[in-house]
Amino acid sequence: MIPIRVHLGPMPEMLRTIMGDLLSQAPDIVVAGESARSEDSLCQAREERADVVVTQDPTQAGASCLDLVLADSPMGIFAVSADGRNASGVTLRRRRISVESGGHSILVEAIRQMGAELDSELDEPNEGRC
Sign, Cα dihedral of 56, 62, 63, 69: positive
The model's pLDDT over 72-120, given as tens digits with 9 standing for 90+, comes to 777 888 899 999 999 999 888 888 888 777 667 888 888 998 888 888 7
Band (pLDDT 50/70/90 cuts) for residue 125 is low
User: The whole model's pTM is what?
Assistant: 0.78
Domains of the chain: 4-71+101-121 (3.40.50.2300)
- 11-67: per-residue pLDDT in tens? 999 999 999 999 999 999 999 999 988 888 899 999 999 999 999 887 666 667 887
Q: Which residues contact 123 (CB under 8 A, 6 or more apart)?
A: none
Quickly list DSSP for 45-95: HHHTT-SEEE-PPPSS--SSHHHHHTSSS-EEEEEE-TTSS-EEEEEE---
